[in-house]
Structure 1
C-alpha cells in the first residue's frame, strides 16, 4: 500500500525518513482507523526510535505551529520572576503534569487579546486542551520547541539541578513481575516495564544530570531483587544519585540497551560495549557504554553492571597552561613536546587525567605543516588537525601501530604503551626523528623506566629515546566559598606530611567544610605531578644500569635538578590553599 496523507509524504520527502517505515506504520494504523499525523509521529518515536525532535518538528510544520527555542542563558532574572508568577496561577497538579510532558507555560499577554503563550515538544498533546478547560486562560498560542530546550528551561525556572529526579520521586513506583529463571527471563514482562515512561525518564534524566553536575561516569548497579541504584562520579568520587525501588535491574538494563547503539538487548552473559548521544543544553554529548555480567546471591537472576562514560567536548583543554602544572614541570614539558623527536610519557592510574594532558599537548603543537596521527582504542575526542585511526576488528591496535610507520608521520600519539610491540614501535619512531606521545599505568615517573625495561627495551634505547616522563594524580580543589583554616585535631597528620606548626597556626592551610555550591567542601580538581626530565646525568645513569634500573638513584638525581615528588607537589598545592591535607595523603599513600 502506498503512503497516504500529506504528513506521511512530508516525512519521506522532506525529513528523509525511510519510506518503508512510514508505509508500515500507515498500513497498521489504517486497519484501526487511527492513521492521524499524531499517531504516526508517536509510532515513529516509540516503535522505530526515530529522533523525537525530527518527528515532532515535522508535525509542528504540518499544522503550521510556530517554533520557539529559548536559550536558557538568555533568560533574565526579571523574566524568571514573571514566569514563576505565571506558574503560580496554575493548579499544582496540572502544572506538574504539563512540565512532565514538556509543555511549558511561557508568558501571558493581557494587552494582546489575553493570549497565553506555551512551548510544547508535542504541540498536539491532549493536555494542552486542559489548559483552556481548567484554567482562566482561554486563548492559547502553542509554539513547538525542542524537548531538551524545554527541559533546560524547566530546570532554570525551578532553580535546581535535579528537576527530573524530583518528578521521578513523585511518580508512582513501577511494579514488576519481570523475572523468572536464569534461562527464561519473561521478555514480555520486561517489555511492559520498558513501556512505562518512568524507566525511560530515569535513563534520560541521569544522562542529562551527569552533564550538568560535571560527572565523568554514570554507574547503574542492581541492588537486591527489586531495586536499582544509580551513581554519578563527580570529582573522582561516586555519589548516589537515585535509588529506584520496585523495579528489577533487568528492566532498566533493557532500557539502556534499547536506547544505545551497538548493544544486543538479549545478550546477558558476555561483556558488551556501545554508545549513545544526546543534545544537552544545546550541546552534543556522547556517551560510551560498558556492560558486564555480574554474580548475584540470587543464582536465578542475570544481573549486569552498567558504566557510562560521559564524553563532553567542552571539557577538552586546548590551552596547555590551563592544565595547572607547577612552573618547572610545565617548562620541561613544553620543552619536551616542542622538539622533532623523542617520547613523551604520561603515567598514572585510571582517571588521573593522562588523556587530558596529552590532548592539551597535541593541541599545543598541531600545525598544518605536521602530519599528526593518533592510535587510540577507543577514540573519545575528535582532535582538529589530527588523523585519528579507527581501531576495529578489521584493523587491530597492533596492525595500526605497524601501519603508522609507513604513513609518513611527524607526531604520533599512542593511547597506551601496552606491550613490547607497542614499546618497540614507539622507540623506533623516536629514534627515526618522530615525536611520540603516550601513556603508561605506573605509580611514579622512575618506575615507568623499569616497566619499559622489563618489557624488553634496552637501557641505551630508553636513555636516548625518552624526553620526559610525567607522573600525575588529580586531587579535589577546595571550595572557595566555604573552606576554612585547618582545625587543631588535624595538626598531627599535617605535621607528618611535612608542614610546619607555624604554617598551620597562620591560617593559610585550609580544610573542607561543605556548602550548597560544592560537593562536601570540594569543587573541581587540579593535578599534582612529578616531571622526570631526561637530563644528561639521568641518561647516563640509565645506561649504567645494564641489569636493573636503580629507581631511587634516578629519583635523587632528578630531585637535585629541582623535580618535585608527587607528595611535594601536593604539599605545594596545600600551601597555595587549593587542596587539603587529607586529599594529598589519599592521593600519595604509596609514598
Structure 2
C-alpha cells in the first residue's frame, strides 16, 4: 500500500475521531472545478474504492492506493461508462470511507462528487410533493434511486444517489419530460424516503396525481388521504360547489388548494369516506361525525382521521382532521420554550401538586404542549399519569389515556375525572375544562396532592382566572390551586434554508410599537426545495406565562382578578404574546408578516 509523504497512521487514527458534524461542515464547502469530494458515513482507511453509478455498469475507480487523506492529494480518477473510459486528475480535499460494507475485499464509497454543479441535499428534511413523485414509474425510482420531489418554476427537482453528470441529467429530463435539477443526497436516506413514498401500504397506482380523473371511489379516497399525509396536512376540506368539489389541505395553519373533482366523482368519494368513518351514507340532511384509523406507511405512523359532514346547497361538505397518534420527539424547546419561559414551566413540573392551565384558540397547540410536559415528567421520575381527552391526539407509552364520548351521556369529562381520582393518579391531564362541575373537581384534585394539567379557551394567561371564576369556581380556590397559566399561539416558522435577511423599516417598527427596533435585522420567506417553495417549514409556539406568586394569589382571592394580574405582570417585566412574537422575529424564527397577525388580533 502506498503511503502518503509525511503520513502517520497514529496521527490519522487520532484525527479520525473528530465529530461527524465537523466533517459535514467541511462537506458543505463549495466544490471547485477539477476537485473531487468523497462522502461516506464513517472515517476509516481508504484503499481501492469503487462506486457503481447505475445498473448500466458506469463506474468511478480510484487507481491510487492510499491509506488516508487529510491534506490536498492529487489522485488519478478513471471514469468508465460502458466501453468508454477516460482518465483525469482531481484534487481530493478530504475523504470519509464507509465501514462494514465490503465486497470481495473492496471498500465502497457512498458517493463521489465530481461535478461543480452538484447540490447536496438532506432529503429527509424535504417536503415531498406526492404528485411530483409519480412523474417517474415507481419501479424506475426504486431501481435507479431517483425521487422527483418538487416542481417549481417549470423545473422538476430530483434527488439522486448517483454520480451527477450531463448524461444522467439528460436521461432524467427525458423521463420526466421537463427540465430538471438534480440534487445529491445520501444513499441510505434516499432509500428510506423512496420506501416511504413508493413502498406505501397503498398500491402504487393509488398514489396521488392532482387532477387525475378517476371514477373509482376507493382509489380516489386513498389518493386524497395519502397526499394529505405526505404534505403533513392537519385538515382536509372538501367543499362542493356549482362547478364541482374543491379540495384543500391545511398545512402549517394555511389552506392550500389541492384539486377540483367533478360532481359524479365527488358523490362517490363522499360515500366512500362516510363508509370508512362508519357514517350513514343514506343520511344527507343532517350533520354527522365519525372516525377511522389508517397506517399509511409500512412501519410508519398510524393516523387517526376524524370526519365531519355538513349539508350544503350543492351537497355534503366534508372536513377531515388527521391526527398522527405517535408523539415523536416532543420537547419543550422544540415547541419554542426558551430562556425564562422554559425555566418557569420546568420549575412547575418539578412540583408534586398544583394546576397548570394552557389557554388559546382551537388549533393553537395547547394539547401538544401538554403532551411535551407529560413526556418531560415521565423522563424525570416514575409517575402514574392518566389523561381524559376528546379525542386522543397522541399515544404516549406508559400513560393511561381515556377518551370521552361527547355524543352520549355515559362518559363525559366530569364523570371520567371522578373515576380517575379513585385510581391513585400522580398527574391528571384534562383535554379541556368545559363546565363548572369539571372545573371544581379539577381544582379540588389540585388541592389534594395531584398535579392537574388542563386547557381553557381564553385570550391571555391572566384571563384564565376570570374564566374559572365565571365558570363558578370560588376565587379563593382558584388562588389556592392555580400555579401556572400559559397562553399560546402558533406562527409559521421560517425555512432556515431560504430565509433572507433585511432591516426592519421604521414604519414596521412603529406598527409593532417598538420604534427602537428600526434597522434591526429580520428575515423574509422566499421558498426553496426544503419547504416546498412556501418559505415556511412547520410552526413555532408563542407563549405568555403567568406564574401565580403568593402576593398575586392574594389579589385573586380578594377578587381583584384579571386587571390586577395584568398590571402585576407589566410591573414585573414579564413578556406577553406580542413580546415573544417580536423576540422570535428578531432571532429569525418567524417573519414580520406572521408577527403582524398577532399584533392585529390583540
Bin of the TM-score, shorter chain as denominator length: 0.5 to 0.7
Choose from 259, 282, 305 the match for 2:317: 305
Choose from 295, 298, 302 the match for 1:278: 295
Residues 224-263 of structure 1: pairs in structure 2 closer than 5 A: 224=242, 227-245=244-262, 247=264, 249-258=266-275, 260-263=276-279
Q: Secondary structure at the match of 1:405?
A: helix
The yes-or-no answer on 1:440 pairing with 2:456 is yes
The yes-or-no answer on 1:498 pairing with 2:510 is no
Write the distance in 1 (CA, Å) between the matches of 2:494 and 2:513.
20
Residues 527-542 of structure 1: pairs in structure 2 closer than 5 A: 527-542=541-556
Write the distance in 1 (CA, Å) between the matches of 2:208 and 2:474.
60
Choose from 489, 509, 515 the match for 2:522: 509
Write the distance in 2 (CA, Å) between the matches of 1:79 and 1:256.
46
CA 1:155–1:275 in 2, change beyond 3 Å: closer, same or farther?
Answer: closer
Question: What is the CA-CA distance between 1:356 and the residue it aligns to?
Answer: 0.7
Aligned to 1:554: 565
Write the distance in 1 (CA, Å) between the matches of 2:52 and 2:436.
62
Report the number of matched residues. Answer: 423
Contact 2:209 2:223 in 1 (8 A): no
Contact 2:208 2:223 in 1 (8 A): no
CA 1:453–1:154 in 2, change beyond 3 Å: closer, same or farther?
Answer: closer
Choose from 583, 588, 592 the match for 1:572: 583
Q: Secondary structure at the match of 2:333?
A: helix
Aligned to 2:336: 324
Aligned to 2:363: 351
Contact 1:100 1:167 in 2 (8 A): no
Question: TM-score normalised to the size of structure 2?
Answer: 0.64
Write the distance in 2 (CA, Å) between the matches of 1:80 and 1:238.
41
Write the distance in 2 (CA, Å) between the matches of 1:236 and 1:338.
33
Q: Secondary structure at the match of 1:452?
A: helix
Write the distance in 1 (CA, Å) between the matches of 2:448 and 2:539.
38
Write the distance in 2 (CA, Å) between the matches of 1:587 and 1:207.
32
Question: TM-score normalised to the size of structure 1?
Answer: 0.65
Choose from 365, 368, 380 the match for 2:393: 380
Q: Secondary structure at the match of 1:280?
A: coil
Contact 2:303 2:322 in 1 (8 A): yes
Contact 2:302 2:326 in 1 (8 A): no
Aligned to 1:389: 402
Structure with greater strand percent:
2
Q: Structure 1: which 5+ residue stretches go unaligned?
A: 1-77, 86-95, 109-148, 175-195
- Measured against aligned partners, the alpha-carbon deviations of 1:188-231 in whole angstroms (never above 9, x if no partner) come to xxxxxxxx33x433321222222222221111221225x12211
CA 1:550–1:590 in 2, change beyond 3 Å: closer, same or farther?
Answer: farther
Aligned to 1:290: 307
Q: Secondary structure at the match of 2:422?
A: coil
The yes-or-no answer on 1:523 pairing with 2:537 is yes
Write the distance in 1 (CA, Å) between the matches of 2:54 and 2:540.
37
Write the distance in 1 (CA, Å) between the matches of 2:327 and 2:416.
27
Contact 1:317 1:323 in 2 (8 A): no
Aligned to 1:24: none
Aligned to 1:427: 443
Q: Structure 2: which 5+ residue stretches go unaligned?
A: 1-50, 59-131, 145-190
